[in-house]
């Protein structure tokens, strides 16, 4: 129960206008609803810690229904590690935080549909559950590889007290979890478990955001590749595994040691059998096969005959009179139809006729991807040079991914209007690649990037260049890459979205969001007359409400005045918001006459129960379909 929900009408008129729930989507309740739709007879109720009734599942009854299909005993196949139960619980634990706009770091904040978010990606993924559930077309992430030298996110789940006491340095002065990075040494007994506890809840939440047609790509090396594959098999389904792509990240190798590791893996999963899988641009090697020419252009030859898979048998007379009786991959009708279109190549020596594939058509269609990508898709040297060119010769990132690699991934996993998510954004290569690809094919791909404000190391090139955190460099990389594109391709980029809205993860704009009613004292109630924190702007409030109400953060926001009172219109009537301390009835009626889908006001605007009842009655009379809430 939200703390704002404790204000009820006690004057006999029933409950007042509802308060907006300011916590993130409750994944557990969502799962209970899904089970209830399949098996309504197992739905029941239980009491929460505050004595309130909540939906629950009768697992004994569910077990009876599925008795023939439930695995029991010790001989079952599953992937377990220390802390998995806590990682699963963390996935379902709602967030009470929010995203605050950072206008000074943004580019074209009012018009851009791209998002750059700074903060712990676990909390951010929770906050995105309402607004972006089932809306993301493609996810690419490049998480910490867990080499023993890398840093991983410092998540603390429900672990035994004796273990927690050893890690109290990871709690802040209020006893809350510190967000940041910690070194995961190979000597640690929980070396693999800690990494799995980090990645597991993030992937569970990420899957929710994917469309049914969506796909995910994850870069990894051999330290955790096998474990990550098992986690992805569990979360996305083993049947939705597409490929384990080997990418050669180094062109050369030093002739030292016992064995040289020159590749990374990219695990590729789809969300469902209907997921979109595109093609990649024609490679330089493939282009060399197009060495024949006729009046229609350059073409390559492809066999029409296959002695093993050929389904059709018929006779063909070649140009020198030879009779061929073969197993053809085309029906006789299809073969002669292609021939009538000059799409069959007839060798002069009487050899087997072959199908013509023109280069212009192949360039447009692309080629089917394979699971080994060489240097033509970029390598670490290319990516380092890309950064240096953007930053006047300075190497500000170690081993960023090359844009060639990301463009290849985007060609497979996205179409021209796709939404792409990268929640381990690092050097922002994903944003750079999205902008480049849009400039090349006229697409309107959008991106959501998330990264931590990780400190740069002392005496590094980044520090000497004046940067304090990785996210600062990433945003600057996007700005410079956009400027480079505009200079090189002015016509192709004149209508492109090359900006981004910048956000920072922060505590809620509202006081005591997660506090229980039983914990309130009289002093708390007096303080709660204004439940909005100091120095929080109208835009702060509006964007938190948009998140909690499931509106896309890229929606248009129009600020206007009605009889001297400021009103915000989100998505052309999708939401009307007014945060003024006093809202006359005339303004309420004007807002109601616009018949918005939703309307929101400050709770403190309506000082008495009578005023709240009046608000409800005005909307019920003029626009009864509008959902009206206060915060």
Structure confidence by residue, pLDDT tens digits, 222-247: 989 999 999 999 999 999 999 999 99
- At 154 the pLDDT is 61
- Please name every residue paired with 117 in a beta bridge, in sequence order, or none if there are none: 450, 503
Which residue is it, tokens 């979360």?
235
347 plus 238 within the same structural domain: no
Place of tokens 């206060």: 630
Two tokens, residue 104: 């000074």
Q: What gap in Å lies between CA 224 and CA 146, rounded to an integer?
A: 7
CA distances from 213 to 60, 139, 232, 281, 546 (A): 35, 12, 17, 21, 25
Q: What is the Cα–Cα distance from 151 to 347, expressed in whole angstroms?
A: 61
Pairing relationship of beta strands 53-57 and 312-317 according to DSSP bridges? unpaired
pLDDT of residue 11: 34
Structural domain total, the chain:
3
Pair (343, 379) in one structural domain: no
Are 327 and 418 found together in one domain?
A: no
> Given 470, 505, 540, which residue is the final one in a domain?
505
Domain match, 483 and 451 both: yes
Whether residue 96 is contained in a domain is answered as: yes
Rounded-to-integer distance, Cα 367 and Cα 281, Å? 6
What domain range includes position 345?
A: 284-365
Q: What local confidence, expressed as pLDDT, does residue 29 receive?
A: 79
β-pair type (210-220, 136-141): parallel
Strands (E), 113-272: 115-118, 136-141, 151-153, 181-183, 210-220, 241-248, 263-270
Residues 338 and 382 in one domain: no
Could you give the C-alpha distances from 241 to 138, 235, 324, 406, in angstroms and in order?
A: 15, 11, 42, 20
User: Does 225 lie in the same domain as 289?
Assistant: no
- 394 and 300 co-located in one domain: no
Asked if residue 36 belongs to a domain, the reply is no
394 and 276 in a common domain: yes
- How large is the C-alpha radius of gyration of the chain? 29
112 and 207 assigned to the same domain: yes
- Which residues lie below 8 Å from residue 300, measured CB to CB, with a gap of 6+? 289, 290, 291, 292, 356, 357, 359, 362
The whole-model pTM stands at 0.83
**Residues 355 and 372 placed together within one structural domain of the fold:** no
**Same domain (yes/no): 496, 376:** yes
pLDDT value of position 382 = 84
Segments of the chain scoring below 70 in pLDDT? 1-16, 41, 48-51, 61, 64-77, 147-189, 513-529
Q: Are residues 429 and 451 in the same domain?
A: yes
């Amino acid at each position: 129960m939200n703390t704002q929900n404790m204000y009820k009408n006690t004057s006999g008129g029933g409950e007042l206008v509802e308060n907006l729930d300011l916590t993130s989507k409750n994944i557990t309740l969502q799962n209970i609803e899904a089970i209830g739709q399949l098996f309504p007879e197992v739905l029941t109720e239980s009491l929460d810690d505050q004595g309130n009734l909540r939906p629950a599942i009768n697992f004994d009854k569910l077990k009876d229904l599925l008795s023939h299909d439930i695995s029991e005993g010790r001989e079952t196949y599953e992937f377990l590690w220390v802390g998995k139960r806590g990682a699963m619980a963390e996935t379902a634990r709602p967030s009470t935080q929010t995203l605050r706009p950072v206008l000074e770091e943004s580019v074209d904040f009012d018009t851009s549909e791209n998002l750059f978010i700074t903060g712990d990606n676990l909390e951010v993924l929770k906050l995105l559950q309402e607004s972006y559930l089932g809306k993301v077309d493609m996810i690419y992430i490049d998480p910490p590889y867990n080499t023993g030298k890398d840093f991983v996110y410092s998540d603390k789940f429900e672990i035994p007290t004796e273990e927690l006491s050893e890690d109290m340095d990871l709690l802040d002065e209020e006893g809350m979890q510190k967000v940041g990075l910690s070194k995961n040494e190979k000597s640690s007994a929980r070396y693999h478990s800690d990494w799995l506890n980090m990645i597991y809840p993030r992937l569970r939440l990420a899957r929710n955001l994917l469309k049914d047609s969506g796909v995910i790509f994850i870069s990894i090396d051999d330290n955790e590749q096998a474990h990550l594959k098992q986690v992805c098999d569990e979360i996305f389904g083993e049947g939705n595994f597409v490929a384990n792509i080997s990418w050669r990240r180094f062109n050369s190798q030093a002739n030292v040691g016992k064995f040289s590791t020159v590749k990374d893996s990219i695990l590729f999963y789809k969300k469902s059998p209907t997921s979109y899988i595109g093609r990649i641009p024609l490679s330089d090697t493939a282009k060399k096969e197009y060495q024949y020419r006729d009046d229609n252009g350059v073409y390559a030859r492809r066999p029409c005959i296959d002695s093993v898979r050929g389904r059709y048998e018929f006779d063909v007379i070649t140009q020198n009179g030879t009779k061929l009786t073969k197993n053809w991959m085309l029906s006789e009708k299809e073969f002669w139809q292609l021939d009538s279109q000059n799409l069959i190549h007839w060798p002069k020596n009487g050899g087997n006729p072959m199908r013509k594939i023109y280069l212009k058509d192949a360039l447009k269609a692309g080629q089917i991807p394979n699971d080994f990508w060489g240097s033509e898709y970029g390598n670490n040297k290319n990516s380092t040079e890309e950064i240096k060119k953007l930053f006047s010769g300075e190497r500000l990132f170690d081993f960023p991914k090359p844009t060639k690699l990301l463009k290849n991934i985007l060609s497979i996993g996205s179409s021209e209007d796709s939404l792409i998510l990268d929640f381990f954004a690092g050097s922002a290569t994903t944003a750079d690649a999205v902008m480049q690809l849009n400039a090349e094919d006229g697409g309107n791909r959008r991106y959501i990037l998330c990264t931590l404000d990780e400190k740069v190391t002392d005496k590094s090139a980044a520090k000497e260049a004046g940067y304090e955190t990785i996210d600062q460099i990433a945003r600057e990389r996007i700005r410079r890459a956009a400027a480079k594109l505009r200079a090189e391709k002015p016509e192709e980029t004149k209508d492109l979205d090359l900006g981004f809205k910048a956000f920072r993860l922060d505590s809620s704009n509202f006081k005591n969001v997660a506090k229980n009613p039983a914990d309130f004292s009289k002093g708390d109630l007096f303080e709660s007359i204004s439940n909005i924190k100091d120095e929080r702007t109208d835009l702060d409030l509006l964007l938190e409400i948009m998140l909690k109400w499931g509106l896309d953060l890229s929606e248009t926001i129009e600020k206007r005045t009605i009889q001297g009172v400021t009103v915000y219109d989100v998505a052309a009537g999708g939401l009307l918001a007014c945060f003024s301390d006093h809202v006359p009835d005339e303004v309420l009626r004007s807002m109601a006459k616009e018949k918005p889908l939703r309307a929101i006001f400050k709770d403190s605007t309506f000082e008495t129960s009578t005023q709240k009842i009046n608000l409800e009655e005005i909307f019920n009379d003029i626009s009864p379909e509008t959902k009206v809430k206060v915060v």
